[in-house]
Amino acid sequence: MKLVLECVSQMLNDPKLFCQKAYISGEWVDASDDQVILVNNPFDESIIGSVPACKAIQVNDAIESAQSAQQDWARMSSIARSDVLAAWYELICQNQDDLARIMTLEQGKPLHEALSEIHYAASFVRWYGEEARRLSGHVMQPDGDHRVVVLKEAVGVTAAITPWNFPSAMVTRKVAPALAAGCAMIVKPSELTPFSALALAALAERAGVPPGLFSVVTGDAREIGEGLLKSSIVRKLSFTGSTAIGKYLMAQSADTVKRLTLELGGNAPLVVFNDADLDVAVDGIIASKFRNAGQTCVCTNRAYVQSEVYDEVCLKIAKKLEGIIVGNGLDPAVAIGPLINDMAVSKVKSHVEDALSRGARIVGDELTINGRVILPVLLADVPSDALIATEETFGPVLPLFRFETEQEVIQLANATPFGLAGYVFSRDVSRAWRVSEAFECGMVGINTGAISMASAPFGGIKHSGLGREGGSAGIEEYLEMKTLHFHL
């Protein structure tokens, strides 16, 4: 293992960003019993390093130090908090190449995508650093001799549980608004991709984030999760991950009545009407489907194409997919990296086989799997009862469904318990508006496959979650209102 570790360090400008310890109470620590979790590179399954398998008692240490650090932090001026976040933002930008490389090594996505994620991650730190200065409550209009003032106060100690598919952005999208609002946060990253979170913590420490205010506790998800959830000191949990685990955490939070933000799974429909600019639509489909090898919560899971343009869209997509290079994310020519693990590969395989058994056909390359790397698959004539229509595939498979009318496609699009994102491609503004309003989801892309930015609210409805991240809504999730009534 030593040889591999030396390789990782040699790949970085600053080897200290590759941290193999947890960051608790401002200290870099091992597990109390010295146990570790090995982390592999999903491309070739080589071990790239290890992180401590922290124990429940260490979660308690993190909670206690967060409580004391938070009290001082919340008393600081919002300008001082903003300055610390600005310094963190600068350090993330200065170290973007190392952060991207660490991400590709543990997550697999191509280096250029990892770099885009670092920019996206940094944008939350910058945006919420600026937003900290604009926080305010309000004063109501006088009512006789009654006066009412509404204060905004930090929620207190908060926790975050983050997934492997966006190992940096899902950390900063939670930590930045929490710190800006005056909260402390304890992060439990996915055991598959802990190094990105730890590198961000190392930079936060250098930026002057006080010890204990932001901890990263690595270890067994259930043990760390339980430690965070049963504590009454932890007032809020922000979770991004699967709907099944989100529901479990929601139930576990009931006893201490925690505030919750849940960013859960999706099953996004994308609709192309006859009147769409087909080249724009095809670019939107490719961008929203194949980014991160299709392992994105807002990925197009089902593409509905109106019958008059169906064959043309299918051919155009097949042409774009020809010659796409898949493989090791560190290779600059690679556009699609490996899937995260063998379970993810099996799911893709089962979705393709199920669709084929129900009469769908593959256009272009057959399903080709090499380890965890899969060539993009285009499925045409997929029936609406195929598994791929109802379950999130989380892989590079694009199923095309045919439809005739606007009313029919709205019904198909909404026939899912999920409601995260939807996409519509049409040159008819009234139709695009009507369909956007009819979609049961939290975000709609109109003639675009890109729908996330730091300044805009992000989140879903139905089984896709609760609350919003991003935008001014994202910081409100870390603020409580206190109403003061004065009698003159």
Question: By CB under 6 A, which span of 185-193, 199-207, 352-360, 424-432 interacts with ligand NAP?
Answer: 185-193
Amino acid at the residue 10:
Q
From the CB of 468, what's the least distance to ligand NAP, in Å? Answer: 10
CA angle 85, 91, 96 (to 5 degrees): 125
Q: Hey, which residues does 479 pair with through a beta bridge? A: 154
Encoded one letter per residue, x for contact with ligand NAP by CB under 6 A and - for no contact, window 415-434 reads -----x--------------
Distance between the two ends of the chain, CA-based, in angstroms? 72
Rounded Cα distance between 441 and 414, Å, is 8
Quote the distance between the C-alpha of residue 458 and its chain's center. Answer: 10
165 contacts ligand NAP (rule: CB under 6 A): yes
Task: List the catalytic residue out of 263, 392, 469, 477.
Answer: 263
Decide whether 162 or 288 has the Cβ nearer to ligand NAP: 162
From the CB of 452, what's the least distance to ligand NAP, in Å? Answer: 9
Longest alpha-carbon distance in the chain: 78
190 contacts ligand NAP (rule: CB under 6 A): yes
183 is catalytic: no
265 contacts ligand NAP (rule: CB under 6 A): yes
| CB contact at 8 A, 300 and 292 | no
Decide whether 262 or 309 has the Cβ nearer to ligand NAP: 262
164 contacts ligand NAP (rule: CB under 6 A): yes
Q: Is 73 helix (H, G, I), strand (E, B) or coil?
A: helix
Q: Where are the beta strands (DSSP E) in 114-156?
A: 138-139, 146-154
161 contacts ligand NAP (rule: CB under 6 A): yes
Q: Is 344 helix (H, G, I), strand (E, B) or coil?
A: helix
Q: Which of 20, 82, 158, 162 binds ligand NAP (CB under 6 A)?
A: 162
Task: Give the residue from 302, 465, 286, 326 showing the smallest Cα distance to 380.
Answer: 302
Q: Is 330 helix (H, G, I), strand (E, B) or coil?
A: coil
Retrieve residue 398's tokens: 């694009």
From the CB of 55, what's the least distance to ligand NAP, in Å? Answer: 15
263 is catalytic: yes
392 contacts ligand NAP (rule: CB under 6 A): yes
Q: Hey, which residues does 240 pair with through a beta bridge? A: 263
Query: By CB under 6 A, what part of segment 223-242 binds ligand NAP?
Result: 225, 240-242
Q: Which of 54, 122, 154, 245 binds ligand NAP (CB under 6 A)?
A: 245
Task: Return the DSSP state at 441.
Answer: S
163 contacts ligand NAP (rule: CB under 6 A): yes
192 contacts ligand NAP (rule: CB under 6 A): yes
Catalytic residues: 263, 297
In the complex, the residues that contact ligand NAP under the rule CB under 6 A are 161-166, 188, 190-192, 221-222, 225, 240-242, 245, 248, 263-266, 297, 392, 420, 460, 465
